[in-house]
């Protein structure tokens, strides 16, 4: 069952990441489009962190929090930059609970340059793992 759960979560993450990536194609996003991009990132990141946990459980690990899942998947070389994932977790928590224009601008820049590629790398890794 745990093996099926992470594979289902991977499919949902692909859809959320696709939406996020679509938002990145807007050349000069309005504030409302930026807010939508941030929301798409929050959704994709939430799915990604749950996917990491589900994947680890299927591999026999016991992790209780997103932070623990990030640390363990970094140790297992499933993700390449554990620190970036922890920063993304912090940004996701920040944007979920507050709205500030300057924070939104910084997060949109990070989504564009760091977080979207990071999530897409995870998808590629698990797609390759799934094929093995």
Total count of domains within the chain:
1
Residue 46 burial class via C-beta count within 10 angstroms: exposed 0-12, middle 13-18, buried 19 and up: middle
CATH number of the domain within which 124 lies: 1.20.120.330
Residue 131 has a pLDDT of: 72
Which domain does 7 fall in, by range?
2-131
pLDDT tens, per residue, the chain with 132 residues: 667 899 999 999 999 999 999 999 999 999 999 999 999 999 999 999 999 999 999 999 999 999 999 999 999 999 999 999 999 999 998 888 777 888 889 999 999 999 999 999 999 999 998 776
5-31 pLDDT, tens digit per residue, is: 999 999 999 999 999 999 999 999 999
Residues 97, 82, 10, 115: what is their CA dihedral angle, to the nearest 10 degrees? 60
User: 38: Cβ–Cβ under 8 A, 6 or more apart, which residues?
Assistant: 95, 104, 107, 108, 111
d(CA 107, CA 97) in angstroms, rounded, equals: 14
Residue 41 has a pLDDT of: 96
Does this model's pTM top 0.75?
yes
Rg, the chain, Cα only: 15
């Amino acid at each position: 069952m745990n093996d099926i759960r992470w594979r289902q979560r991977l499919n949902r993450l692909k859809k959320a990441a696709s939406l996020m990536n679509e938002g990145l194609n807007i050349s000069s996003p309005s504030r409302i489009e930026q807010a939508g991009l941030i929301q798409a990132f929050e959704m994709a990141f939430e799915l990604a962190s749950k996917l990491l946990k589900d994947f680890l459980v299927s591999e026999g690990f016991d992790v209780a929090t997103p932070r623990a899942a990030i640390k363990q998947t970094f140790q297992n070389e499933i993700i390449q930059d554990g620190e970036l994932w922890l920063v993304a977790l912090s940004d996701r928590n920040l944007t979920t609970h507050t709205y500030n224009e300057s924070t939104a601008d910084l997060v949109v820049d990070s989504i564009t340059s760091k977080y979207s590629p990071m999530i897409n790398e995870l998808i590629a890794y698990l797609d390759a793992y799934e094929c093995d």
